[in-house]
Amino acid sequence: MMYQGRPGPTGAGRWATPSAAGTSWPGSWERKPWRARCGTGCSAPTPAGSLLIICHSWRREESGGPWPGRPFRIRWNWDLGIGLSDQEASSLLALLEALREQGTLGRAATAANTSYRVAWGLLRRCEQQFGKALVIKARGRGTQLSEFGEQLLQLDAAARAMLNELHAPWGQRLQELLAPTETVLPERLRIAASHDLALADWIANGRQVTLDIVWRGSEEALLSLARGECDAAGFHIPGAWSGEQSTAWLGRWLKPRQFLFLPVMRRQHGILTAPGNPLRIKSVADVARLGLRMVNRQRGSGTRGMIDQLLAANGLGARDIPGYAHEEFTHDAVATAIASGQSDVGFGIEAAAARYDLGFIPLGRDRYCLAVRSSLTSSPALRQLIRRFLGNTFHERLRALPGYEPEPGNGELLSWEQFNAGCGFDAT
């Protein structure tokens, strides 16, 4: 796939849909200075007036035999329109990145696996073609990136991030097509999960569960599962959501019918305040009216999504809430910010408020669940985890925490239709 950009009258442009049948682009990208066309390879000459060409190819990043758990990714490179080969374009960006970190051209060349002579020649040739300096030599300070060189690296990083996200579903699909028919069950479950106090305490207090867990926001956890980077994802959704709302939200990150779901627990969430709620806060409208400092959750977390929906329902936006840009990554961190006086209010679960003796205004309950790959139903590690979720130790721990309760059920992995039937339990 090739992407080609042309400058408009003021350097601006817009996206156009590729001509290949069945190809579509997510989102609205009208402000991006690019248009797209289909092709393969990099042999075509750069058209006059073109800025950049990006070439993509599917390639497995590791050597050796196939491993069904290892993703296939897209590798791509710039054609900068100045007569560089693919390898030279990659070498230039690698050299600039190394120079940013090392501070001298000699050390940068070594880090980029090239010689000083070759590195210096590449820089000089590119500067002549660009008509702009890539580096600046300062007495006593070695060699530094010019403003143009720094901007070139920033452009490369932004493009890579955008394209990696754009093509992730294609990589996952290719992985599924190339995976062997025989499923290799993991000895330890890899779980990406939204942070939860009860779950974190349970794991930290020595329960023997065969899993490796990383704490991420609900959206990021689900995206990791869709990409094949983990075996299960922990996420939470508001108990007031209908089945249609839950399906619409979950469908943004993965295809629900390709996975199985395990309801784990329910939690009370609401507004956290200073001890005793001295300002007599009753709702999110009071937070805006009184100009209170809020501590927010990170973008991509389930709680952040609930906060934004709550603000929108009250006709409020980020500009109406002081401290909206102050983000923390766990319920504990939110509670700590309020207890220390850094913030006046935050949103989180009742157990976090109780842990720090904070005031709490309940707003509703949510469901904490696991999404699991359907191919892992016979995994001993998964069956062990489910048995421990059903055990007295875990249930007693939940009941000891304010605002928690186990999900009703027998630990059966549910289809999305079965799971979705339980949505809307907390509707008012």
Amino acid, res. 271: I
Q: Given 146, 175, 204, which residue is the final one in a domain? A: 175
Would 183 be classed as within a structural domain? no
Judgement on whether residues 224 and 328 belong to the same structural domain of the protein: yes
Tally Cβ neighbours within 10 Å of residue 200. Answer: 16
**Structure letter (DSSP) for residue 71:** P
Judgement on whether residues 125 and 199 belong to the same structural domain of the protein: no
Beta-carbon contacts of 19 under 8 Å, excluding residues fewer than 6 positions away, are: 37, 38
Judgement on whether residues 194 and 306 belong to the same structural domain of the protein: yes
Would 65 be classed as within a structural domain? yes
Strands 327-328 and 294-297: parallel
Token look-up 């102050």 returns 326
Give pLDDT tens digits along the chain (428 positions): 333 333 333 333 333 333 333 333 333 333 333 333 333 333 344 443 333 434 444 444 444 444 444 455 566 677 777 877 777 888 888 888 888 888 888 888 888 888 888 888 888 888 888 888 988 887 766 788 889 988 888 888 888 878 777 777 776 777 667 665 555 666 788 999 998 989 888 887 755 666 889 998 899 999 999 999 999 999 998 888 888 888 999 998 899 888 999 999 999 999 999 999 999 999 889 998 999 999 999 887 878 888 888 888 889 888 889 988 898 888 889 999 999 999 999 999 999 999 999 999 999 899 999 999 988 888 888 998 898 899 888 898 899 999 999 988 788 999 999 988 877 677 54
- Alpha-carbon distance of 58 to 177, in angstroms, equals 13
pLDDT at residue 52, rounded to an integer: 43
Name the token pair of 282. Answer: 């009753």
Domain of residue 113 covers 2-175
The SS3 call for residue 256 is helix
371, 375, 370, 329: which is closest to 352 by C-alpha? 329
CA Rg, the chain, in Å? 26
Q: Helices then strands (H, E): number in the chain?
A: 14, 15
Judgement on whether residues 161 and 233 belong to the same structural domain of the protein: no
Direct distance between the N- and C-terminal alpha carbons of the chain, in angstroms, rounded to an integer = 50
Residue 112 in contact with residue 95, Cβ under 8 Å? yes
Q: Given 175, 205, 240, which residue is the final one in a domain? A: 175
Would 88 be classed as within a structural domain? yes
Judgement on whether residues 247 and 168 belong to the same structural domain of the protein: no
Residue 29 in contact with residue 62, Cβ under 8 Å? no
Q: What is the model's pTM?
A: 0.55
Token look-up 């580096």 returns 135
Tally Cβ neighbours within 10 Å of residue 2. Answer: 18
Would 181 be classed as within a structural domain? no
Would 40 be classed as within a structural domain? yes
Amino acid, res. 359: G
Bridge partners, residue 224, by sequence: none
Would 272 be classed as within a structural domain? yes
Judgement on whether residues 198 and 171 belong to the same structural domain of the protein: no
Q: Given 175, 198, 224, which residue is the final one in a domain? A: 175
Would 427 be classed as within a structural domain? no
The SS3 call for residue 226 is helix
Q: Taking each helix axis from N to C terminus, what angle separates 197-204 and 392-399, rounded to the nearest 10 degrees?
A: 130
Judgement on whether residues 51 and 126 belong to the same structural domain of the protein: yes
Judgement on whether residues 358 and 310 belong to the same structural domain of the protein: yes
209, 248, 236: which is closest to 407 by C-alpha? 236
Judgement on whether residues 258 and 405 belong to the same structural domain of the protein: yes
Judgement on whether residues 273 and 125 belong to the same structural domain of the protein: no
Would 116 be classed as within a structural domain? yes
Judgement on whether residues 216 and 341 belong to the same structural domain of the protein: yes
CATH number at residue 81: 1.10.10.10
- The count of structural domains within the chain is 2
Name the token pair of 323. Answer: 């401290």
CATH number at residue 286: 3.40.190.290
CA separation, residue 62 to residues 65, 70, 94, 160, 280 (Å): 9, 9, 20, 19, 58
Judgement on whether residues 100 and 235 belong to the same structural domain of the protein: no
- Alpha-carbon distance of 377 to 299, in angstroms, equals 32
